[in-house]
Structure 1
């Protein structure tokens, strides 16, 4: 920015996008006297605006982020669980782990985590958590700094605290302290080193021990590596809190907006689809008569858009929407007759058919495809002449629907996600016996249990001639490679392609991709058959420690073979309790549980047989 024409101060040149740019780098621009400002566009603000719009249009409520209470307990509980996919600044596996350890109890904790999870302050995360949770005494480098560092348990978290320390201990003026802050924010190590003598000298003049001053400045110097300012942390955390609030209180609107922003990022889209399903948000496939281009929300249900179908051209979708202005299409022929002839190509329609966009006309997708070419030819010849079409109309070809597995696979190929279901889904009851993860949740170093559909088995021999194998496994969220070493190779004898298996393995990274080193692999079908025939579900607030303690004590009085699963009232997250809490569901126990937690929150459910 400048008060005068930029050409009076600096040489300019045109950029590729038609804008002017300077011929000197940013530091020189500032040295010439220009004010440099960064403007960052956040797609999260677009997500927030879209979700707010969905809430208003679908429920009639006006959603105003500024009216959200920052002490909202369900939202804070979401942060405490690390349930922050789709939440600005809090999506990485590392920061989720910090949230779970810290368990934020107020907005300030969220702000602190945002500021701490950066290369400089990160070394103090464990100290911050231990002190907050009362596991370590709070200490200060000097009593004079207690007022500054008390809100953050004696830990330096924000750049503003550095300014205050420089003022109180080093005798810096506020202007000098701000120069120190700026040097920190720009990682100017030469300036920081030069300021050290000044800081120590000023501290000694004010009566602080030289050793203490050196210790504090060394602390500041380490913090300077990406130390964050509080004003940024609060602003970022505010946006994060708004999104988290939506995720808790209006999940359908939240996920509809999030999925629109992730249409071109299939890994994230798959994650959000699975999360929405887990929260009981209804997901509907694309429909030729009701879909928009992108995802939309209607009556609490998310409808896939036509542009979510692989290969769908925007101009083709616009042609469909234009034709639809005259009313919904009555059948496939009606659609073809209303479109311009240039669009009447089978390749334009096959992906839509496989995605289910025409299921409202005929849900036998194989039959619709079988009749497609002849129907298009008849419409091309007859045009809008109904009488002529009745003469030229082809005799319908009757074919059986494709097998269920093939139908799901074709649908996933064109949508990028398994929407109607996945072969692994039928084995979900195994969650009562195992703590299962999805492919998208795999993290390096963990040992996990996971259900996978076997897509490919590559059998090889080692240099010593021993057999081993690489297996490609898939669930609804993604694909992972399995390595089966020679000692476990015999267990593959009964494993075949298209079989669902239960795998226990350690997650390792190879060539930047995660893989599973298999400890155990077995056919999941016998495991499903051997499951207990009933499960006891108990709904309660996961953050209510007293209620959970009472429950565990009560369950131990009626030990038996029936698995017990708790369901959090807020997140809907289910947790299988350890076998020592499994029960015999006699009438006395059920009556006690219903009295304590409410009859509607205690359900003994028979397992559905496949």
Structure 2
């Protein structure tokens, strides 16, 4: 990639654990000087919908009118933002409103004038510049608009970097400091392995020929790994039966648009079902390890050099055509060997840790995914498949994050900060007190010892509802007594120091009235499950569909098996409605996209206007329903189109 004839500088990307990216930027500032290093500014632009809403507000028209117009503008596709002109071509209702309503015409005409203009300044997700002289000699600077006192450039990447903006730029290279979550997961796993099992493992010493790892990948157990998960990649790995890290590198390189066509050829040649051939004898020198299949960008460049007779200068132009996918025939983009090998190594390490330290690795994955309810649900399902029990939060067992219960067989325990409405402050107060003075003996002991103002009605209610206090009492009874619990806690907080307290003069608080709970109805299983879903994002102590297990067993297909069906196949599925999202069609009719979950997985269900009008009463969150419909494979993603709906 670097040669004497190459006229342009290289792209430079550095990947680092996402929780340490700021450290890397600070290191660069310290090494090269704070006045030589800055993050790159970028400009958010006026998009079609935003321009309409801004103009409506600025010209004093009603919010309702602006909202009506904005909702008639279709969403753009990735890489192809929607424009007002295109929106009027695609949605006849918008065009009709524009032609018939004078206010709408005024708003849209003004919005067209500001559409595409810069609206605000923000910070580029990864870009950093480092200059040989102080940055003010190359670009104006400013503080980050979020008020964090970070210095950013006022020029964007297209004005700074010749790779992005061509020759008429300042000439500073953009370094991409990319935060990758999986690197943080690896680091956290290694810390936990040393803490739990006493084994100090470094990335450099992880063997790259671990049989257990390759066997796991061959079985298709890829969930939670880096770059190797997903239906298509998993199927390809099961067919490939990888047995070297080179196989992993190849899959990372090939599993992308264009090169993907070569996956089957690589697998067939590896297993000897097709002969290994070379388009030219010279190609054997650099395609020997990939069985004659073009895999990496380097392979294309070497072919141009050795077979086509290109000079290194010509090859640089060829490389740009491949990299930037121009002209049209170069759309099949390959990545470099260095890129594939780096990502392949990280992918292999995640697979190695999952295969050899399953519970510890999955606890680190769950911690990294905290806050993403859907991902947490997927990972907990994977834990269950692996035979790892995931336990609900416990006041005496949980720490802040997901942790491994240090008794074999290992189990994973929910963390306290994974509970909604439960912050780091109160979590730290509980775990610190427990570490200093041992486990809490009972509810009174807990309320006596945790003297923290953040133990309030909201946080205590969350602890009760999610089951963290189950060892001290039944949830329904505790919840009914919550005012008594809080009053008891307040008195214990005031007793030692406040003379105004009723019990403030007593130096021995053991004579204070004991904690007494009034009788109250117990919580139903349905209530418990709803609370768990509300506070943890998923069901822990059971599942609403367990009441319909016999009916579900009569169905031939579950959600997990839907991808195996063909486009247009008719079948019946059943599950619980997790989320309902209303949208307007081009004809200004209301339809619904619904997320349906069963005990095997989650699927998106499209409900078009006619079906919606007929079955609307069943389409409510937390409702258990059966749906007859057709399989859709649009854009390679499996979804379901509803035709009939009934309650389970």
- 2:298 is matched with 160
Where do 1:25-36 residues align within 5 Å?
A: 25-27=160-162, 34-36=172-174
Could you tell me which of 91, 112, 119 is aligned with 2:257? 119
- 5+ unaligned residues in a row in structure 2: which ranges? 1-128, 496-502, 582-590
Aligned to 1:309: 419
Deviations 1:15-44 (A, max 9, x none): 415124262232169865545433222111
Structure 1 position 494, deviation (Å): 13
TM-score, L = length of structure 2: 0.63
Taking structure 1 as the reference length, what is the TM-score of the superposition? Answer: 0.67
User: Could you say what secondary structure the match of 2:387 adopts?
Assistant: coil
Deviations along 1:345-398, one digit per CA (max 9) or x if unpaired, are 322211111111111212x11011111112322443464458888675575222
Assess if the C-alpha contact under 8 Å between 2:218 and 2:241 holds in 1: yes
For the residue of structure 1 that corresponds to 2:221, the secondary structure is coil
User: Given the alignment of the two structures, is residue 110 of structure 1 paired with residue 233 of structure 2, yes or no?
Assistant: no
Query: Using a 3 Å threshold, how does the CA distance of structure 1 residues 360 and 239 change in structure 2: closer, same or farther?
Result: same
- 2:138 maps to which residue? 10
After TM superposition, the structure 1 = structure 2 runs for residues 420-435 of structure 1, keeping only pairs within 5 Å, are 420-425=541-546
- In the alignment, does 2:343 pair up with 1:236? yes
The 1-side partners of 2:355 and 2:627 are apart by 32
Q: Call closer, same or farther: CA 1:135–1:445 in 2, change over 3 Å.
A: farther
Query: Is structure 2 residue 415 aligned with structure 1 residue 294?
Result: no
CA-to-aligned-CA distance 1:551-590 (integer Å, 9 cap, x gap):
xxxxxxxxxxxxxxxxxxxxxxxxxxxxxxxxxxxxxxxx
In structure 1, the residue corresponding to 2:371 is in which secondary structure? Answer: coil
**SS at 2:472 equivalent:** coil
Aligned match for 1:19, one of 151, 161, 170: 151
Per the TM alignment, residue 246 of structure 1 is displaced from its structure 2 partner at its CA by 1.4
Structure 1 residue runs of 5 or longer lacking an equivalent are: 194-220, 459-467, 525-610
Moved more, 346-355 or 92-101: 92-101
Q: Matched residues in 2 for 1:426 and 1:154: separation?
A: 56
Partner of 2:526: 405
| Residues 1:507 and 2:631 aligned together | yes
Question: In structure 1, the residue corresponding to 2:470 is in which secondary structure?
Answer: coil
Q: Which one of the candidate residues 276, 298, 318 is aligned to 2:428?
A: 318
1:187 maps to 324
**1:90 matched to 2:262:** no
Q: Counterpart of 1:302 in 2: which secondary structure?
A: strand
Contact residue 379 and residue 389 of structure 1 kept, 8 A: no
SS in 1 for 2:233: helix
Which stretch of structure 1 is more off in the superposition, 297-306 or 421-430?
A: 421-430
> Cα distance 1:10–1:78, how it changes in 2: closer, same or farther (>3 A)?
same
Which is worse superposed, 175-184 or 371-380?
Answer: 175-184
Q: 1:222 to 1:82 in 2, by over 3 A?
A: farther
Task: Indicate the residue corresponding to 1:414 in structure 2.
Answer: 535
Question: What is the correspondence of 1:338-417 to structure 2 with a 5 Å cutoff?
Answer: 338-340=449-451, 342-362=453-473, 364-381=474-491, 383-384=494-495, 385=503, 395-417=516-538
| CA-based RMSD | 4.5
After the TM superposition, which residues 123-138 of structure 1 pair with which residues of structure 2 at under 5 Å, given as runs?
123-138=261-276
Offset, 1:314: 2.1
Could you give the per-residue CA deviations for residues 56-101 of structure 1, whole angstroms, max 9, x where no partner exists?
2222223333333333233223333433222112233332333234
User: What is the Cα deviation at residue 232 of structure 1?
Assistant: 1.1
Distance 1:72 1:522 in 2: 50
Asked if 1 retains the 8 angstrom alpha-carbon contact of 2:444 and 2:515, the reply is no
Aligned partners of 1:36 and 1:372: how far apart in 2? 56
1:74 correspondence with 2:212: yes
Instruction: Give the match's secondary structure for 1:37.
Output: strand
Q: Distance in 2 between matches of 1:2 and 1:331?
A: 58
Which deviations, in whole Å up to 9, do the C-alpha atoms of 1:535-562 show, x marking residues without a partner? xxxxxxxxxxxxxxxxxxxxxxxxxxxx
- Return closer, same or farther for 1:456/1:273 CA change in 2, 3 Å cut-off: closer
Contact 1:456 1:472 in 2 (8 A): yes
Cα distance in 2 for partners of 1:113, 1:375 equals: 57
Distance 1:427 1:391 in 2: 50
